[in-house]
Amino acid sequence: MTDIGTTPRKAFTDLQRLKIFERAGGRCWLCERKIQVGEKWEVEHRRALSMLGTNNEDNLAPAHLACHATKSKREATDRAKAKRMKIKHFGGKKPSRMPGSRNSRWKAKIGGGWELRE
Protein backbone atom coordinates (compact mmCIF):
# COMPACT_ATOMS: atom_id res chain seq x y z
CA MET A 1 0.00 0.00 0.00
CA THR A 2 1.37 3.42 -0.92
CA ASP A 3 0.86 6.80 0.70
CA ILE A 4 -1.25 9.50 -0.89
CA GLY A 5 0.59 11.04 -3.82
CA THR A 6 3.65 8.79 -3.86
CA THR A 7 5.05 7.36 -7.05
CA PRO A 8 5.82 3.62 -7.01
CA ARG A 9 9.51 2.80 -7.35
CA LYS A 10 10.77 0.88 -10.34
CA ALA A 11 14.04 -0.82 -11.17
CA PHE A 12 16.13 0.79 -13.89
CA THR A 13 17.42 -1.30 -16.77
CA ASP A 14 21.13 -1.42 -17.58
CA LEU A 15 20.48 0.67 -20.69
CA GLN A 16 18.67 3.35 -18.67
CA ARG A 17 21.48 3.43 -16.11
CA LEU A 18 24.06 3.78 -18.89
CA LYS A 19 22.10 6.63 -20.46
CA ILE A 20 21.85 8.47 -17.11
CA PHE A 21 25.57 7.91 -16.46
CA GLU A 22 26.63 9.19 -19.89
CA ARG A 23 24.33 12.22 -19.75
CA ALA A 24 26.02 13.25 -16.47
CA GLY A 25 29.47 12.78 -17.96
CA GLY A 26 30.25 10.01 -15.47
CA ARG A 27 30.21 12.43 -12.53
CA CYS A 28 28.38 12.21 -9.22
CA TRP A 29 25.90 15.06 -9.30
CA LEU A 30 26.22 15.62 -5.54
CA CYS A 31 30.00 15.93 -5.09
CA GLU A 32 30.86 16.39 -8.81
CA ARG A 33 33.74 13.90 -8.58
CA LYS A 34 34.28 11.40 -11.40
CA ILE A 35 32.82 7.95 -10.75
CA GLN A 36 35.72 5.54 -11.26
CA VAL A 37 35.52 2.26 -13.17
CA GLY A 38 34.17 -0.47 -10.89
CA GLU A 39 33.05 2.04 -8.25
CA LYS A 40 29.47 1.49 -7.08
CA TRP A 41 26.90 4.19 -7.72
CA GLU A 42 23.14 4.59 -7.57
CA VAL A 43 20.55 6.41 -9.60
CA GLU A 44 19.56 9.45 -7.55
CA HIS A 45 16.43 11.56 -7.89
CA ARG A 46 17.41 15.24 -8.07
CA ARG A 47 13.99 16.12 -6.68
CA ALA A 48 12.81 13.37 -4.34
CA LEU A 49 9.68 11.41 -5.22
CA SER A 50 8.27 12.30 -1.82
CA MET A 51 8.62 15.98 -2.76
CA LEU A 52 6.65 15.55 -6.01
CA GLY A 53 9.65 14.53 -8.10
CA THR A 54 9.25 12.16 -11.04
CA ASN A 55 11.00 9.15 -12.54
CA ASN A 56 11.66 11.07 -15.76
CA GLU A 57 15.24 10.99 -17.02
CA ASP A 58 15.72 14.72 -16.48
CA ASN A 59 15.16 14.17 -12.74
CA LEU A 60 17.67 11.30 -12.48
CA ALA A 61 21.43 11.46 -11.99
CA PRO A 62 24.26 9.17 -10.84
CA ALA A 63 25.58 9.49 -7.28
CA HIS A 64 28.22 7.72 -5.21
CA LEU A 65 26.76 5.40 -2.57
CA ALA A 66 28.13 7.51 0.30
CA CYS A 67 26.93 10.80 -1.24
CA HIS A 68 23.47 9.36 -1.85
CA ALA A 69 23.21 8.00 1.70
CA THR A 70 24.23 11.36 3.18
CA LYS A 71 21.68 13.25 1.08
CA SER A 72 18.91 10.77 1.90
CA LYS A 73 19.64 11.08 5.62
CA ARG A 74 19.56 14.87 5.38
CA GLU A 75 16.22 14.79 3.57
CA ALA A 76 14.56 12.54 6.17
CA THR A 77 13.32 15.49 8.23
CA ASP A 78 11.95 17.20 5.11
CA ARG A 79 10.08 14.04 4.12
CA ALA A 80 8.61 13.65 7.60
CA LYS A 81 7.48 17.28 7.69
CA ALA A 82 5.92 17.04 4.22
CA LYS A 83 4.05 13.89 5.27
CA ARG A 84 2.72 15.58 8.42
CA MET A 85 1.58 18.60 6.39
CA LYS A 86 -0.12 16.37 3.82
CA ILE A 87 -1.99 14.45 6.53
CA LYS A 88 -3.06 17.70 8.16
CA HIS A 89 -4.19 19.11 4.80
CA PHE A 90 -6.42 16.10 4.11
CA GLY A 91 -8.04 16.31 7.55
CA GLY A 92 -6.16 13.58 9.35
CA LYS A 93 -5.28 14.18 12.97
CA LYS A 94 -2.82 12.55 15.25
CA PRO A 95 -4.92 11.26 18.15
CA SER A 96 -4.11 12.89 21.45
CA ARG A 97 -3.12 10.62 24.30
CA MET A 98 -4.30 13.07 26.91
CA PRO A 99 -7.52 12.13 28.77
CA GLY A 100 -10.22 14.70 28.26
CA SER A 101 -8.99 15.81 24.84
CA ARG A 102 -11.41 15.76 21.92
CA ASN A 103 -10.00 12.51 20.58
CA SER A 104 -10.15 10.77 23.95
CA ARG A 105 -12.85 8.28 24.96
CA TRP A 106 -13.07 10.04 28.32
CA LYS A 107 -14.87 13.35 28.86
CA ALA A 108 -14.15 15.63 31.83
CA LYS A 109 -17.26 16.73 33.70
CA ILE A 110 -17.59 20.37 34.73
CA GLY A 111 -18.15 19.50 38.38
CA GLY A 112 -15.15 17.16 38.39
CA GLY A 113 -14.83 13.52 37.53
CA TRP A 114 -14.88 11.66 34.24
CA GLU A 115 -17.42 9.92 32.02
CA LEU A 116 -17.20 7.86 28.87
CA ARG A 117 -18.16 9.59 25.63
CA GLU A 118 -21.03 8.04 23.72
What are the E-state strand segments in 1-118? 41-45, 60-64, 106-108, 114-116
Per-residue pLDDT tens over the stretch 6-41: 556 678 899 999 999 999 999 999 999 999 999 999
In words, the CATH class of domain 1-93 is: alpha beta
**Tell me, what DSSP letter sits at residue 37?**
T
CB 72 within 8 A of CB 55: no
Query: What pTM does this model have?
Result: 0.62
| pLDDT tens track for 32-91 | 999 999 999 999 999 988 788 888 889 999 999 999 999 988 888 888 888 888 888 888
